[in-house]
């Protein structure tokens, strides 16, 4: 939980605290590094863009990012907003909860993208079955 909260705080700073705001554009598990005391740090700002300024709500850009983490509206339009980062953060949370990768080519077609695999669970309201079985193991709980 501390890692997820720390990553969220990093995104909040980029979106709301930085001037001009920064859209990270490549939030994924492997770009959240752990420093001393397991303090999370966002890394690899190679795809980052300065956010929209004035009355603009998005930045037009060539679509870039990592398979499985990009927001569908960004992929479809090339319009980059802070919501694109929020979608990616949601995928990271799903990885933490499910124990699965955002994109796993070794899985069947319907299960390759974590977001596609999760969607039916939302519709069925069977959220607890998403959890990684290791999270239910009483020996695993600290």
pLDDT at 135: 75
pLDDT at 55: 63
pLDDT at 128: 73
pLDDT at 80: 87
pLDDT at 28: 95
| Predicted confidence (pLDDT) per residue in 22-39, tens digit | 999 999 999 999 999 999
- Rounded distance between C-alpha atoms, residue 132 and residue 96, angstroms: 8
Q: Which domains does the chain have, with CATH numbers?
A: 2-44+60-134 (1.10.510.10)
CA distances from 17 to 14, 23, 51, 85, 93 (A): 6, 12, 12, 15, 23
104 among known catalytic residues: no
Contact 81, 57 (CB under 8 A): yes
pLDDT at 44: 93
| Predicted confidence (pLDDT) per residue in 90-133, tens digit | 999 999 989 999 999 999 888 899 999 888 776 666 677 788 87
pLDDT at 83: 92
| Predicted confidence (pLDDT) per residue in 46-90, tens digit | 889 998 776 677 777 788 888 899 999 999 988 888 899 999 999
pLDDT at 125: 62
* pTM beyond 0.75, yes or no: yes
pLDDT at 139 over 60: no
Q: Which value, to the nearest 10 degrees, does the dihedral of the CA atoms of residues 20, 40, 101, 50 take?
A: 10
């Amino acid at each position: 939980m501390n890692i997820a909260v720390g990553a969220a705080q990093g995104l909040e700073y980029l979106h709301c605290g930085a001037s001009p705001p920064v859209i990270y554009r490549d939030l994924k598990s492997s770009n959240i590094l752990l420093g001393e005391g397991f303090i999370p740090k966002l890394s690899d700002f190679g795809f980052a863009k300065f956010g929209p300024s004035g009355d603009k709500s998005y930045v037009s850009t060539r679509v870039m990012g990592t398979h499985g983490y990009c927001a569908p509206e960004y992929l479809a339009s090339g319009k980059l907003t802070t919501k694109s980062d929020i979608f990616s953060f949601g995928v990271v949370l799903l990885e933490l909860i499910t124990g699965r990768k955002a994109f796993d080519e070794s899985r069947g077609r319907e299960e390759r993208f974590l977001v596609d695999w999760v969607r039916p669970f939302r519709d069925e309201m069977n959220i607890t079955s998403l959890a990684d079985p290791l999270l239910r193991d009483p020996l695993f709980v600290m």
